[in-house]
Amino acid sequence: MTKSLRVALWAAVLSCMGANTALAANGVLSPNDYIGFTFFTGYMAMFAASVFFFFERGRVADKWKTSLLISGLITMIAAVHYFYMRGVWLDTGTSPTQFRYIDWTLTVPLMCVEYYLLLRPAGASSNMMWRLILGAVVMLVAGYYGEAVQPDKNVMWGIISTIGWAGIIYEIYAGEASKLASGSDNPAVKAAFTQLRWFTLVGWAIYPIGYMLLPGNLLSGMGIAPSNMDLIYNIGDAVNKIGFGLVVYGMAISDNK
Ligand SMILES: *C/C=C(C)/C=C/C=C(C)/C=C/C1=C(C)CCCC1(C)C
């Protein structure tokens, strides 16, 4: 991406975040309801990505077909949830927290499965996969508690959630997963692992930024409406679910070992 394109994208994102809340609620998408727009584009992008991964699955080597299938399932599960989330947003103008977390509870563990499938030829154990999934469960259950069950304690739940995420980061940067990847003799796998890790460290950091808009949290009261949490989550999902899948796809296409 060129620098000017990046600057333009950021300017667009920031100007959308100045837009105010509760634009929906009558079943109609208002012209300046940027959060609503991202629910629609998110839905279509996830849908299209699924079609892409499912069709392209036929073009990759047999050993990577399950990985492509999982990439498609991740975006397909998200597409269905985005369909419902856009409806909630349109009808009520409120955050579709339940659908959001049901989606994540299914898709984030599947991303852990992607790590396992990628490193299986290098000797990954299913214990490694379960450690990643455990980190994901802690991260998501705590996040849900902070958003929906005990919102007055969202700071505490946010910290617990971050510990779960840190467990995943540890596993892929210092734990068994990282050791297996560096020991792998397959350059395509090594390169893909490095890229997926970046998604998990940098791409996933988008979500806590949205969470910090909750009342009483670090970014609240800075002039950014809390409803922008959904804008941030929607951007995070598009980057992480489709991007993650594309890395796996690129690896499978380029691997000629
Ligand atoms: C496809 C969905 C993905 C990759 C969702 C990822 C979600 C997170 C990395 C959420 C992380 C959170 C924290 C680290 C602390 C605050 C609460 C959360 C749940 C937003």
Domains and CATH numbers, the chain: 33-254 (1.20.1070.10)
Instruction: With beta carbons less than 8 A apart as the criterion, state whether 110 and 70 touch.
Output: yes
Q: Is the pLDDT of residue 19 over 60?
A: no
Q: Six-digit token pair at 42?
A: 């998110």
Residue 67 to residue 244: CA distance in whole angstroms: 11
> From ligand 1's centre to the CA of 158, what distance in Å?
10
Residue 6 to residue 11: CA distance in whole angstroms: 9
> So what's the pLDDT on residue 118?
98
Alpha helices in the chain (DSSP H): 3-18, 34-56, 65-92, 97-119, 126-144, 154-173, 176-183, 187-198, 206-211, 228-237, 243-254
| Ligand 1 atom at minimum distance from 240 CA | 4
Ligand 1 contacts (CB < 6 A) are 104, 107-108, 139-140, 143, 158, 161-162, 165, 204, 207-208, 211, 237, 240-241
Q: Is the pLDDT of residue 21 over 70?
A: no
> From ligand 1's centre to the CA of 136, what distance in Å?
9
> So what's the pLDDT on residue 128?
98
> From ligand 1's centre to the CA of 26, what distance in Å?
29
pTM: 0.90
> So what's the pLDDT on residue 4?
67
Q: Average pLDDT, stretch 36-44?
A: 96
Q: Average pLDDT, stretch 148-154?
A: 98
Residue in the structure block whose two tokens are 């397909």: 76
Percent share of the chain, pLDDT over 70: 90
DSSP 72-99: HHHHHHHHHHHHHHHHHHHHH-S--HHH
Instruction: With beta carbons less than 8 A apart as the criterion, state whether 250 and 117 touch.
Output: no
Q: Average pLDDT, stretch 226-246?
A: 97
* pLDDT tens for each residue of 4-18: 666 666 665 555 554
